[in-house]
Structure 1
Amino acid sequence: MNQARAFTLLSSAAAVCLISSCGNSPEEIRLADGTVSAAHAGSSAELYAEGYAYEQAGKTTKAIKHYEALANQYPLAKEAAEARYRQADLLYQTGDLVKSFKAFQSFITSYHGTRHYSDALAKQEAVAHSAATGELKHNFLGLKSSVAATTAEEMLIKVRDNAPYGASAPKAQFAIGDLWQRRGNEEKAIKAYQEVQLRYPKSSLAPEALFRAGTMLMNEADEGNQNQANLDQARSVFIDLRQLYPGSKQAKAAKSKLAQLGSQDLQRSYDIAEFYRGKKQYASAAFYYREVIKKTKSGTELNKLAKQRLAEVSQ
């Protein structure tokens, strides 16, 4: 009986008007105290009943449209929060995940603290991380769909900012770094990883974020983009990592990275000395050979080479 009555109501002119978003705007139907009039409250209740009847009958697309129309037309009605959530959740269940993310965002923004709030945050977070890793699937087909990196980043930022003091925030910020690292944009990845430590210094993800940032700065040098600024920044990142998170496994790995950077510095000093020797600027060459000798252990290959060259240019 209730379902039959609901489908009968759908044919009414009032219901048609609601679905097509005609008539008064949400601002026009509010009373002075911010609530809605009794007449509009009745319309919102009817619209919700129709949407629910469609949902129970398995007519999901029509149910979604009704719930969306209700939430858009009557955002202050008592059924509005439930309608917006059901719209988002049905989109989520049917695999229209990008649209579901937007609907969840509308729910989270407008209905903070309501009974579905935590569930909406969790589902929205799952969608954003799937989009970032390229594993966003349409549930009803099981097919993967790609999302532009900028769109995925925007989704993660919303997840981060929706609950800035929750565990989801540093996780989302870290995922932004991972997203850009996967997409080959090291500059954005490094900045995003460093932001993890700046925003969430107590997060368990902070040591890994710093380690990744420092490693990428070193990799740029290995790939032919070496410059002193990058190497100095990498050294600074690894030093910060060891000082801020001394007990982490990343701090131990940073120690070897710093040693590697030290070796690169010594090799660079030797190469500069060789450059000046080739130019017959022996005083400058001698200066850098002495730097290498002073900073390397006696008997090592580089130490022996520097001593040999120093003897040659000093004659």
Structure 2
Amino acid sequence: MIFSAPRRRLPLLIAALAVLALASPFKRDARAVNLTWDPDTGWQTASGAPPGLSSLDDRRSALSLMNSARRAEERGSKGAAAKRYARVVKRYPTSIYTPEALYRGADLYLQRKQYNKAFDAYSQLIARYPNTDRFNEIIGRQYQIASALLDGARNRWWGFFPGFTDRGKGVQQFEVVVWEAPYSDYAPLAMMNIARGHQRLGNEMEAIDAYDRMINNYPDSLLGPDAYLRLAEAHASLVDGPEYDQASTQEAATYFEDFLILFPGDPGVARAEEGLDEMRTVLAQSKIKIADFYFKKRDNYTAARVFYNEAITIYPNSDIAEHARAQLAKVDAAAAKHQPSDNDGAGSAGGAKKKKRFLFF
């Protein structure tokens, strides 16, 4: 039975991108005209392609900026080229040059290790030109950026000064990848990295939620068995011992059992069996402790029998079960010792002093 962890809101970054895509003053445009570059003549378009600009001066200015940006790029002036591509996007958002400017600008940001700017530029390109032929390539670049940040790469300010490590940003960007391309090959990989990132940051509940989403949203993925096993281990990591609440222990045991049933030939079977053994041990120990309390502190033999038997049921072929059986024998002996005999009952009844009866009472 698959446990559904409470859904959490996607990071604010995703919501912001959704607003940008749907409420932006720039229209969501499926057109992405192929441009070709000639070092002598500059950027060329296919004949008949609409320029997307009404003013002849705007067309010339946009083309001039594009040519200037590409020449700066070829000279190795990546920063200057990126700025000029950004000007094309800002000043001429409806032109046929905008998708190319976004793409090349994002690539330059990535080369300069300006990871956040590169990622956002790629997202803007996908939001405005969802039918671009470069869709899979762009998602791959975004996956690359998120992986780098999650693994500790530092975003460079202005392309020179390294900032602080921000693994949480990598997790957020993986969420964006899933949101932008939920049916791509990258989506299950991104979900697994979201969970891995949360675990690395110490957010076990968020990791459990991510593994759960992975299992439910991508049940046929090759990563399914690994997600199942890691979900069980994530629950197991929340177990504090037999003295505490056993909800996480029970969840972990359930997922370990499900894994062994669903994936009997998986290489992770040994890990699952070991994990299940540990969870059953903790559960059985918790029942033993409760039974000991009723037996030794309350002389409640009925309750003690119930919990000792539950320990045996949870892990019948174990040392804990043998201990529970030994304790049951002690419970039976103690109960028999405290049970009054029939002779004692008769003697007490015969030797009882009769109560005097009075006329009016």
Query: With structure 2 as the length reference, what TM-score do the two structures score?
Result: 0.70
Correspondent of 1:305 among 326, 336, 339: 326
Partner of 1:190: 208
- Which structure has more RCO (C-alpha within 8 Å, separation ≥ 6)? 2
Quote how far apart the aligned CAs of 1:143 are. Answer: 6.2
What SS does structure 2 have at the residue aligned with 1:249?
A: coil
Partner of 1:314: 335
Partner of 1:3: none
Correspondent of 2:233 among 215, 229, 247: 215
Moved more, 266-275 or 137-146: 137-146
Answer with 1 or 2: which has the greater Rg.
2
- Which has the larger helix fraction? 1
Partner of 1:288: 307
Per-residue CA distance 1:34-87 (angstroms, 9 max, x = gap): 932152222211111121222223322221111011122223322211111111
Quote how far apart the aligned CAs of 1:160 are. Answer: 1.6
What SS does structure 2 have at the residue aligned with 1:314?
A: helix
2:139 counterpart letter in structure 1: L
Per-residue CA distance 1:140-162 (angstroms, 9 max, x = gap): 8796841151x322211111222
Correspondent of 1:279 among 298, 307, 310: 298
Q: How does 1:103-118 map onto structure 2 within 5 Å?
A: 103-118=121-136
What SS does structure 2 have at the residue aligned with 1:65?
A: helix
Q: Which runs of 5+ in 2 are unaligned?
A: 1-24, 28-49, 337-361
Query: Structure 1 290/68 Cα, relative in aligned 2: closer, same or farther at 3 Å?
Result: closer
Quote how far apart the aligned CAs of 1:136 are. Answer: 4.4
Quote how far apart the aligned CAs of 1:234 are. Answer: 1.7
Correspondent of 2:75 among 24, 44, 57: 57
Q: How does 1:262-277 map onto structure 2 within 5 Å?
A: 262-277=280-295
Moved more, 135-144 or 89-98: 135-144
Q: How does 1:172-183 map onto structure 2 within 5 Å?
A: 172-183=190-201
Partner of 2:89: 71
Query: Structure 1 244/290 Cα, relative in aligned 2: closer, same or farther at 3 Å?
Result: closer
Q: Which runs of 5+ in 1 are unaligned?
A: 1-24, 28-32
| Structure 2 CA distance for aligned equivalents of residues 93 and 290 of structure 1 | 65
Number of aligned pairs?
A: 285
Partner of 2:278: 260
Query: Structure 1 269/313 Cα, relative in aligned 2: closer, same or farther at 3 Å?
Result: farther
The answer to whether the 8 A contact 2:232-2:253 is kept is yes
| Structure 1 CA distance for aligned equivalents of residues 112 and 318 of structure 2 | 70
The answer to whether the 8 A contact 1:84-1:103 is kept is yes
2:250 counterpart letter in structure 1: D
Query: Structure 1 288/226 Cα, relative in aligned 2: closer, same or farther at 3 Å?
Result: closer
